[in-house]
Every structure is written in structure tokens, then in C-alpha cells.
Amino acid sequence: MKRIFTALILLSAYCGAAQAQNAQPKLSARTRQYLLITQKKDAKAAGVPNYIYKKINNKRYISSLIKAGSGIEQTDLDALGILTGTKAGNIWTVQIPVENVEAFTKVSGVDYIQLDVPVFPVLDSARKVTRADSAQRGINLPMPMTGKNVVMGIIDAGFDFNHPIMYDTSYSQYRIKKVWNQKLGGTPPAGFSYGNELTDTSLMKAQGYDTVITSHGTHVAGIAAGSGYGGNATNNKYRGMAYESDLVLVGIMPDPGQWVAAGESDIIDGINYIFNYATSVGKPAVVNLSWGSTLGSHDGNSLFSQACDALTGAGKIFVCAAGNNGADTVHLQKAFTATNNTVSTFVTFSPYLDSNHQETWVDIWGDPSKTFCLKLSLYNGAAAIDSTINFCLADTTVAYNLVGSNGDTCFVNIFSTLSEYNGKPHAFVSLYSRVHDNICLTTSATEGVVDMWEGYVAPPVGYYGYLKSLGYPWAVSGDTKMTVSDIGCTRSAITVGAYTSKTSFVNISGTGLAYSGAVRGRIAPFSSLGPTGDYRIKPDITAPGFALTSAVSSRDSNFFPGGDSYNAVISADTIGTNVYRYAILAGTSMASPCVAGIVAMMLQLNPTLTPDSTKSIINLTAIKDGFTGALPAAGTTTWGHGKINAYGAVKFMAQQVAVKSTNLPVMDCILYPNPNNGHFTLRYTGKTKEQLTITTTDMNGKIRTTGNWPVNTGSNIHQLDISTLPAGTYLVRVTSGSGFIVIKVNVE
């Protein structure tokens, strides 16, 4: 008789002991996975694949986010050589010496340790379809909207520091203010312990690039803020959105041959670095991130999300790509009852992985105060040929070896906890298979809802199989819902989906190419879908992302003649001995910098905009058309609130402030809809509990209405009714001790 399961291995006692003692940290699933793997001989010395390492002063560290408790002692961290970076409230980034990871898991005063989750990139007519061209020309606006005096931060990889897009439109002024190459040795920025910071223009130009294996960062920077120089004879065809903004670039990918990658703590440090620079020069900033992952709870409560929410604020905006999994059945949700208590699906592997060496992960999250059980089985026909036991969640780790029909092994590791940082039960399943049988994952419970996501990262690339029924009548397939990345589920983030703005193009060789089945104006098939894990609407907005032309790195051989991506090159410009190319790429990676550049235009008008007010303006002014259809006020999980409207957003803002003041700053307050019959809504983001005064005057200065509005910290809504006034134009003035705004309104 075939054995039902072949092995059960419990994680060594130290991990269980660490979880059992309240004074010691809780550990994330990936942290416990690391501890399990490093029990093996030489694993710690050789390094564990898919974890985020850094080399600092010739010593190796592993990157982590932690939740610091009230009892944390710096002396305990110093004793283990722990290096701290960003402190976003109680969420800190740290670098842990590889030899001290186990010891760190026993330090009291640390509430939670999460070794970094890896992230990866989520890959001409854009200015017209977003109406940015009108905003850039300043039509009926106080000034041309170009991002002037705003810091544009790009966290990415594949930057060409010498590409003409990094200069101004005349190719005379260099616009990069700072560079932080996180993965290179050198002098780190103040407050950080790793990487190499460049603040001298000549050094930036001399170094020239951060990595040669991609052009992702150059392409993204070109869309958000590129000058367009060299793209055509008039140097404006491939101009970016905020082409007069100041650039700060954070490189997060190593050169080939290095075994480190990029993780969430790198991103948090990058955001903090950019905002710190902007503060030092007295300018607002927007940060773009076009990387992500399917892993995580997707509920906006991750350590990354908590840190990001703490770092953003007035004049500090974070924009990110929704992800490219809108056509991938990588998600499955099941609501359990006592009589409907089981769901089975088959976990498949990415076709781009070696068929004899396949790996993937499944991240599973339940409802708070509930639990669930898991079982994995191998099928080669109607019956299971080997299975694990039915494992019910506990604060522990188990490992199984399943024997396939070819006599080889499928290795299964399950890292589980009964209550994570968000109060939810969580299981992380790691599969490494050398068999050719189908792998069935069965989840069971008597109550609650379980969500699972499948995906795998072999830095710097994400790989996706699918959750499928494979024709078994008792199994189910996954869906494409809730595929917005976990980073994109952050509450303060402006999360961007992609729609189709180009269906064909002619490349530099004169060859016409077309995207099969693409329809201009329709949502891009790859654009990830919401809602979030706690059922909020994401993405927030969509922008052109399928497909856009922008700069590519002159160091990236993929875009050289004969290279794998040369067919995508549209034009080239030779300056000296270097050839600088423009090429077409697609993805929410391209849509996100469109929005980031437009946000820079908005910050140019009002440097104190908060994430909440920025999103409100973007949402209120978004384009709705025959493809979006009529959208509800809350938006939809495909389109968010519609298509980004650059001109509409800045025009709306210009109408809000009708009078300037030299004494008080402009308040973070907006009014809508305007014009209407006199029933207006005011939205204000408060910094403290206070009372505002609202006064309505006619154009001759006569007061027509007055009243008070008590507000609290955060978002406040007030209904202003001036419908009894005759039709005409009025000024609504909102004031407090800390600011003011005067808004011109029209009563119809």
C-alpha cells in the first residue's frame, strides 16, 4: 500500500519557544521559513535564495521590517550589531547580521519581525489622453503646470543618469539632485547604513548608471518627468508629465552576479530618503514605485502599509502601480459554513520556470478569531497517490516530503500562525517540486472567509502559475479579484491601474507592429483588480499603460540592434559617442508614473496637498467615457474612479483658490460639485481639533452667509447650503487660525 505521507518535521524548539513567550517577538511566516532553512548545514553561510541581503563594510546583513514595542532597548540591538534605518512610528527598517538572525528572534521589546518580502517590477500619446498637454501649456491656469519646484522621487532600477531626459528641455541644466544606489558599496546617506549616495553632479555623470540589466527605471522616470530631449526634432514628442521637476533617484537592484534583491524595507527607506531631501530644500515631493508582489494580506495593515501611512502627509505623496495580474487566476476566496466546509484547488507553476525544478508559494489569510486547516495531495489520475495529514493552524512550522509517480519528491513547507499582526490567522505554503503530478491544496473550516494568493519571486522577476480545477469536478479554479498588490492596498497610496492608449506602432526599422485584440480606451487586460482584502476600492484611478513610449537606458543591451527588445525601439538620438533610445513598454509600471507626474503638477499649485485631498481631487475630476461607463461615487474595482485627468485636476485646484494671502498658508480644503444649484460639499483634512469659519460673499464683498464648522484631525465633510441665494458667482471663504482658502462658486 502506498504511504499516505512520508515525513513530518517540526521546526526546532527555539522558534516555538520564541513564540510561546510573550516577551519575545512574533515572527512572520517568511522569518520562520528562513530559520528552518538555515538549520541545514552551510545554508546560513551560503545565503538563502529569495531573501534580501546587503553587504555593509564587508559584512553580510539581512533586511527586515520590525514592529518596535514600548520595551525595546537600543543596547540589546547594539549587542547583536543590528543597524536601524527608517523609524516610521513604531515600524522600523533594520539590517540584521546573518549570524545573529536567530538571536534577534529572542530579543524582548520587539513585537514583530518580518524578514523582507521581495518585490519586483510590474511592467507619447499619454499627455494627450490624460489632458496633461493642456495643463503643461497653462491654458486658463495661473501658470504652465510642469512640476516646477516639486521633487519627483523614483524608486526603481535601470537608471541611465546621462540620458538626455534627465536634463531640461534645452539639454543645458542637469535635473538629478541626488542618487542613492542602495545595492552598491560606498558612502551611505545620513541616517542609513548601506548603499552609496551621490550628491555631486560630476560623480553621477561619471558613474552613469545603477545596473545594466534593465531599463525599467529610465522608462518610468521618462514618463513621470522626462524632458523628451532627443525624442524628435522638436524635443517634445516623448516628454514626460512633470518635466521641470527635480529628480531624486533611488536604485534598488544589484548588478548581475550579486545575490541580493529588493525588499519592502528598501522601499520604506527610499521613501523616507526622498521625503527627507524634499523637506531639507523646502519643497513638496511625490514618490513613484512601479514594483510589487502578490504576497500579503492585502488589507492595508501590513508593516509596509503602516510605515508608508506614517511617512506620507502634507506635501508628501506616494503613488504606486496596481500590478499586472488582472488576467491571472492567482486568487481564490472561500466562505465556509458548517455544511460547506471544504474547498480544493490545484496549484500550478509558472511556464517560465524549469519543468524539472519548480517552485511557488501560496499565501493564505483567514478572518480574525477564526482558523482553518490545510492538506496537500499529489494526483496522477482520479485518486491521490500521496498526501500530507490535515494540518490545522498553530504557531509552528511543518514540512512534508510527498513522493510522486516518478519516485521523486515534492517538498512542502507550511509556516502558520493563529494570529498575525492584523489579528488574522495566516499560513504560508512553500512548494518545491521535482514530480510531474498535479498538486492539490485543500482548505477546510466551519466558519469564516479565507483568501489565498499564489505567486513566486526569483529576484528580480515575479513568476505566476494559476489556481485551477484541472477538470476535477470537485475542485475549483481561482479568480482575478483582489489582485492589486499588497503595497497597492496601502491606504495613503494612490494606486494606479492601466488602460490602453496605443494599439499599434512603427518601430525604428520601419516595421509596423500591432497588439492583438487591443482596443484603445479599454482597460488593459493585465491591469490588476480590486477590491482590497478589507473590501476598499482599489485601484484609485487608471492611466495610460498599454503601451507607452519613453526613454530606455543606453547601457541596456536588450535595446541594442539585435537585442531581444530592439523591435520595441521607436527612435534614437546620438550625442557624442552614446546612443540614447526611446522604446515602447506596457504595464501598470507605465501608468503609475503618469499619475505621479500629474500629482507633481498639483503640488506645484498647492504644496500642502495631503494624500486624502490629492485623491479626492483626482477622483472628482476623473474622465468617464463609454469604456468606464457611469461609475458610482465609490468607484469600481476595475477603473477606480475613472481615467486620470491632469487638466481637470489642476483646473479644479486653480478655481478653488481665488484670493492669495501673504500671511497664512492655503488650507487643505476642497469644494464640489461646482457649479450647481447651491448645495455644495466641503472636504477638509484637519491637523487638529478646531473650529473653522465659513463665510459667503458676493463679488462686491457683501457677506451673504456665515457659520462655524467644528472639525477633527483627519478627513471632515460639511454640507454648505446657499441655494437661497440668487443665481450668480460668489466667494466661499473658509478660515482657521492656521490657514485659509477662498473658493469661487457658481450658483445656477
Bridge-based pairing of strands 548-552 and 291-292 is: unpaired
- Does the pLDDT value for residue 2 go beyond 50? no
> Tell me: the pLDDT tens digits for 62-77?
999 999 998 899 999 9
For the chain, what is the largest distance between any 2 Cα atoms, rounded to a whole number of angstroms? 95
Kind and range of the H or E run holding 457: strand 449-458
| CATH class of residue range 12-116 | alpha beta
Q: What is the pLDDT of residue 494?
A: 98
Calculate the dihedral angle through the C-alpha atoms of 205, 207, 212, 216, rounding to the nearest 10 degrees: -50
pLDDT of residue 711: 93
> Is the confidence at residue 21, as pLDDT, over 50?
no
Task: Provide the residue ranges of all domains of the chain, joining segments of one domain with +.
Answer: 12-116, 120-324+485-621, 328-479, 659-747
Choose the CATH number for 328-479 among 2.60.120.1290, 3.40.1390.20, 3.40.50.150, 2.60.120.310.
Answer: 2.60.120.1290
Pairing of strands 426-433, 358-365: antiparallel
Domain range 659-747, CATH architecture = Sandwich (2.60)
**Average pLDDT of 8-36?**
62
Rg of the chain's alpha carbons, rounded to an integer? Answer: 27
pLDDT tens track for 324-367: 999 999 999 999 999 999 999 999 998 888 776 689 999 999 99
Helix (H) / strand (E) element for 549: namely strand 548-552
What is the distance in angstroms between the CA of the first residue and the CA of the last residue of the chain?
A: 83
Task: Kindly state the helix (H) or strand (E) to which residue 152 belongs, with its residue range.
Answer: strand 151-156
In whole angstroms, what is the distance from residue 397 CA to residue 426 CA? 12
pLDDT computed for residue 537 by the predictor: 96
Question: How many separate helices (H) and strands (E) can be counted in the chain?
Answer: 14, 42
All three cell numbers of 340, joined, read 460547506
Average pLDDT, stretch 719-724?
95
Residue with cell 517590477: 121
Which of 1-10, 257-266, 670-679 has maximum average pLDDT? 670-679
Tens digits of per-residue pLDDT, 596-611?
Answer: 999 999 999 889 899 9
pLDDT band at 43 (very low <50, low <70, confident <90, very high): low
Q: Answer left, alpha or beta for residue 204, where phi above 0 means left and psi between -120 and 50 means alpha.
A: alpha
Q: Which fold has domain 120-324+485-621?
A: Rossmann fold (3.40.50)
Residue 136: pLDDT band (50, 70, 90) is confident
